[in-house]
Amino acid sequence: MNVDRIKTMVHKISGMLVDKPEAINVGEESRDGTIILVLTVDKDDVGKVIGRNGQTAKALRALVNAAATRMGERVLLEIRE
C-alpha cells in the first residue's frame, strides 16, 4: 500500500529530530475513510517533534498531506508520547 511509503518518510524524518530514534513508532488507524498515522516518540522527544509553536509538526503534516494527495489518499498525522 502507498501509505507504507509515507510511514517510512515520517519515521526517517522523525529519527533525525529526536535523541532516541529507537523509541519511534509509526502506527496506522482508519476513521471514516481517512487513514491516520500515529507517530509515537519518547516523552522527552515530543517537544522536538512538535517544535517551537508547533512549526515542526506543521511541516511534517504538510509533507504527509502533499504525499498523500499525490497518491490519491486522505492521510492525517497525530503525534503522541
Q: Where are the domains of the chain?
A: 3-80
pLDDT (tens digit, 9 = 90+) per residue, 3-41?
999 999 999 999 999 999 999 999 999 999 899 999 999
- pTM, two decimals, is 0.92
Q: Are 75 and 34 in contact (CB under 8 A)?
A: yes
Residue whose C-alpha is closest to residue 34's, from 79, 65, 70: 65
Average pLDDT over residues 44-64: 96
Residue whose C-alpha is closest to residue 79's, from 32, 34, 6, 24: 24
The CATH fold assigned to 3-80 is: GMP Synthetase; Chain A, domain 3 (3.30.300)
